[in-house]
Structure 1
Amino acid sequence: MVLSSGRCTLDFTVLIHEFSGQFQFWASSSNTKCIGSVFGGRVASTPMHGRSSHTTHDCQWLFKGTPPPLSVSRHHSPVVVLHDMLRHLTVTAHSDEAEIMAFTHGSQSTYGVQLHPGNDTNEHGRALLMNFLRLVETCSA
């Protein structure tokens, strides 16, 4: 299930809580906070509309084949702050300012990114989009 940018609603939070582990979840931008909140994180308001962030990543899943650091576009990106929930979620990318840019709950195929993979202003945007499409296709097959 893809939760694109938009408001994190109670409906999305309930879906993630009830079905994470049974279905794959992808959340980008604002809806990343839904995943974070389900697993105990909190959201820090960081207005980043129209700005780019240099992002260091682990070269896995969404970022496979792209060099770190990577310049990515952000839109109204609230930042998820992780506490002791690191046992559930793994940070896979962070900005130069140490803000979490991507995380995964690998055992439940649940992913969150603070960017829009298909945005044409992203450095290596086509690779990000193709990686995203491949992962969604793999999990839906």
Structure 2
Amino acid sequence: MLLVLDNYDSFVHNLARYVRRQGHQTLVVRSDKIDGDDVESMAPAAIVLSPGPQAPDQAGACLEITRRFAGRLPILGVCLGHQIIAQAFGGRIVRSEPMHGVPSSIEHCGDGLFRGLPNPFPAARYHSLVADAAQIPNVLEVTAWTDREVGDSGDRLVMGLRHREFPIFGVQFHPESILTEHGDEMLKNFLELVTPAEPTGANR
């Protein structure tokens, strides 16, 4: 079973549906209705940190859970979830040009979540915060990026991160959006870390 921590976002059930399509059960729980001890008792195979409208500090128990289960469970963060991963390991979250339903060209490292994907590819962005590229902690590495939009200063924005030691991955864009090409493949690459696939079942 994969535990999806819901940060009060309309995309969370799309994300859970994508996971179930790959043959895994999901349990969707609001991030402010759970703590690390609850996760221990649930014994999930992996954790997905959903998008959401807030900043990482307002994302329920997500920061605590990410730190507690780093190295014990695979973790995938999407949009806000990606920012949670960055902050949990010492990164800084900063404001950026607001992007709401805007497809951008994403360049990437070519392996991990992005194995087998075209480079670049279009992906949907819905955010006004990003991980500060100048303050990525040493335990994380940048795996995807995009050119900044008109009005932004600098060159590129961080669109993907992974932990250098543990199976922890974040993407700033939305792989579950219909505007993102190859989102299924990205999620499949993550879920290959979570074996075997389980019979699909009902959400909570």
TM-score (norm 1): 0.87
Which residue does 2:117 correspond to in 1?
66
TM superposition shift of 1:101:
0.1
Counterpart of 1:52, as a letter, is P
CA contact (8 A) 2:177 2:183 kept: no
Counterpart among 101, 114, 123 of residue 172 in structure 2: 114
Corresponding position: 1:19 with 2:65: no
Q: How many residues align?
A: 137
- Give CA deviations for 1:61-104 in whole Å, capped at 9, x if unaligned: 2222222122211012521114261x200100100121000010
Which residue does 1:136 correspond to in 2?
191
Q: Decide which structure has greater helix share.
A: 1
Counterpart among 89, 101, 123 of residue 140 in structure 2: 89
Alignment gaps of 5+ in structure 2: 1-46, 149-155, 197-204
Which residue does 2:89 correspond to in 1?
39
TM superposition shift of 1:137:
4.0
SS of alignment partner, residue 100 of structure 2: coil
CA contact (8 A) 1:62 1:132 kept: yes
TM-score (norm 2): 0.62
Which residue does 2:5 correspond to in 1?
none
Alignment gaps of 5+ in structure 1: none
Q: Which has the larger radius of gyration?
A: 2
* Runs ≥4 residues deviating over 6 A: none
CA contact (8 A) 1:77 1:114 kept: no
Question: CA–CA distance in 1 between the matches of 2:129 and 2:184?
Answer: 21
Q: C-alpha root-mean-square deviation of aligned residues, in Å?
A: 1.7
The structure-2 alpha-carbon separation of the partners of 1:101 and 1:74, relative to structure 1 and needing over 3 Å to count, comes to: same
- Give CA deviations for 1:17-41 in whole Å, capped at 9, x if unaligned: 1111111110001121111111111
Question: CA–CA distance in 1 between the matches of 2:188 and 2:166?
Answer: 18
Which residue does 2:51 correspond to in 1?
5
SS of alignment partner, residue 129 of structure 1: helix
TM superposition shift of 1:140:
4.2
The structure-2 alpha-carbon separation of the partners of 1:16 and 1:73, relative to structure 1 and needing over 3 Å to count, comes to: same
Counterpart of 1:136, as a letter, is L
